[in-house]
Structure 1
Amino acid sequence: MDLKLRGKVAVVTGASVGIGLAVADALAGEGVQLVLAARQQERLEAAAADLAARHGVRALAVACDVASAAGVAQLVDATKDAFGGADILFNNAGTGSNETIMDAPDEKWQAYWELHVMAAVRLARAFVPTMRERGGGAILHNASICAVQPLGYEPIYNVTKAALMMFSKTLANEVIKDNIRVNTINPGLVLTPDWVKTAKQLTADTGGDWEGHLQQVANEHAPIRRFATPAELADFIVFLCSERASYSVGSTYFVDGGMLKTV
């Protein structure tokens, strides 16, 4: 299926590893020019060089922190200087949390609000005008199944991802008149390096069977009884960025192996 994405420009945040890198790889495979954002410059530049070499596209690495207004401005300026704007924005930067509501300080709530919500707000304000000038575009927000089915150990993550999902819906209604489609992805269990790192830490004192630990997690939460690969999620996201998904507006898509317990 020709997704008609060749020559488009995509901005991907959290792009140096995991889901962000997999989405960048899949977009590059469709001939999309890339602007990759993440905080770790060396890893990001290595990823950009690899994608450019394998797919024959331009991949610009912009080391910045999109949780800050200055970091967003840096990313936007670099994109405009290199490509004049963007056709696709995948808001992916984010991370889990671990706290109780009673113990978490204001500063932690604010930090996650900036990362999961305000980054998306600021990037939309910056890129929607350039998408409008280019005839339209697609914005995808990577939220989480936890936005509607919370995990007890990460209330701040649950709350800020729920806010991101509502922002995405509200933005979709506002910009569809400009031929800009906005949607949300709510993944379930995706085997990212963070999951592997955590599993190794948790099993270090009990034999180190981190793979067995992850299998137990999958057995408990996902009827499919396994984690998704980042590439499986990326295939769906790239489709939503394309004209083939032209009637998908303001929706939230669960890619979770059956983890969601309601309809």
Structure 2
Amino acid sequence: MDLNLRGKIAVLTGASVGIGLAVAEGFAAEGVNLVLAARQPERLADAAGQLAAKYGVQAVPVAADVASVEGVEQIVAAAREHFGGVDILFNNAGTGSNETIMEAPDEKWQAYWELHVMAAVRLARGLVPLMKQRGGGVILNNASICAVQPLGYEPIYNVTKAALLMLSKNLANELIKDNIRVNTINPGLILTPDWIKTAKQLTQDSGGDWEGHLQQVADEHAPIRRFASPAELADFIVFLCSERASYSVGAAYFVDGGMLKTV
């Protein structure tokens, strides 16, 4: 299936590793030029260079903190200066949390609000005018299954991802008149470096069987009984950002191996 994405311009956050990097590669394979944003400049520059060399696309690295006003301004400026516009925004930057509501300080709540919600708000405000100039575009926000089915140890993550899901729905209604489609992706268990790092930490005093630990997690939560690879999720994301998904507006898609327990 030809997704007709060649020559499009995509902005991705959290783009140097895991899901973000896999989506960047998926876009690059379709001929999409990239603005890649993340906080670690060396890893980001390396990823951009490899994608450009492998796929023959332009890949612009922007080392920026998307949770800050200044970081968002850097990303918007890069899209404007290097490409004169943008067609796709994939809001992916984020991280898990670990706390109780009774003990978490205000500062932690605010930090996650800035990262998971306000980054998406600010990037939309900055990039939507550039999309309008090109006749429309696509915004896809990466939330989580935890937006509707929370995990007990990370209430701040659950709450802010739920807010991102609602933001997407409202933004979709507001922007469809401008031919800009907004949707949400809610992944389940995706085998990112963060999952592997956590598993190794949790098993270091009990034999180090981190793979066995992850298998237990998959057995407990996902009927498919395994994690997805970032590339599996990326394939679906790239499709949603193409014209082949042109009637998809304000929707939330669960890619979770059956983890969601409701209909």
Q: Which runs of 5+ in 1 are unaligned?
A: none
Q: TM-score, normalised by structure 2?
A: 1.00
Letter aligned with residue 160 of structure 1: T
- Hey, what's the Cα distance between the residues in 2 that align with 1:208 and 1:52? 37
- Say whether residues 1:134 and 2:134 are aligned partners: yes
CA distance in 1 between counterparts of 2:243 and 2:74 reads: 29
1:214 counterpart letter in structure 2 = L
SS at 1:78 equivalent: helix
For 2:100, give the aligned amino acid.
T
User: 1:165 Cα deviation (Å)?
Assistant: 0.3
Q: TM-score, normalised by structure 1?
A: 1.00
Matched, 1:152 2:152: yes
Within 2, Cα distance between the matches of 1:254 and 1:124? 23
Partner Cα separation in structure 1 for residue 176 and residue 85 of structure 2 = 18
> What's the offset of the Cα at 1:85?
1.5
**Aligned ranges 1:222-233 → 2 under 5 Å:** 222-233=222-233
Counterpart position of 2:98: 98
CA shift, 1:171, in A, is: 0.2
Distance in 2 between residues matched to 1:183 and 1:230, nearest whole Å:
19
Separation (CA, whole Å) in 2 of partners of 1:226 and 1:53: 33
Give the AA of the match of 2:121: V
Q: Which ranges of 4 or more aligned residues in structure 1 deviate by more than 3 Å?
A: none
Structure 2 residue aligned with 1:208? 208
Query: 1:242 — aligned with what?
Result: 242
Once residues 129 and 70 of structure 1 are traced to their aligned partners in structure 2, the CA distance between those partners, rounded to angstroms, is 18
Structure 1 residues 53-132: aligned runs within 5 Å: 53-132=53-132
Structure 1 Cα separation of the partners of residues 71 and 35 of structure 2: 14
How far 1:78 sits from its partner (Å)? 1.1
Name the residue aligned to 2:164.
164
Aligned to 1:52: 52
Provide, for residues 21-41 of structure 1, a one-character-per-residue CA deviation record: whole Å limited to 9, x for no partner: 000000000000000000000
Paired amino acid for 2:6: R
Q: Secondary structure of the equivalent of 1:42?
A: helix
Q: CA deviation at 1:5?
A: 0.3
1:163 Cα deviation (Å)?
Answer: 0.1
**Count of aligned pairs:** 263
- Alignment gaps of 5+ in structure 2: none
Superposition deviation, residue 79 in structure 1: 1.1
Give 1:245's aligned amino acid.
Answer: A
Partner deviation per Cα, 1:130-162 (whole Å, 9 max, x = no partner):
101101100000000000000000000000000
Q: Report SS of the residue matched to 2:85.
A: coil
Q: CA deviation at 1:42?
A: 0.2
Tell me how far apart the structure 2 counterparts of residues 56 and 74 of structure 1 sit (CA, whole Å): 24
Q: Give the CA RMSD over aligned residues.
A: 0.3
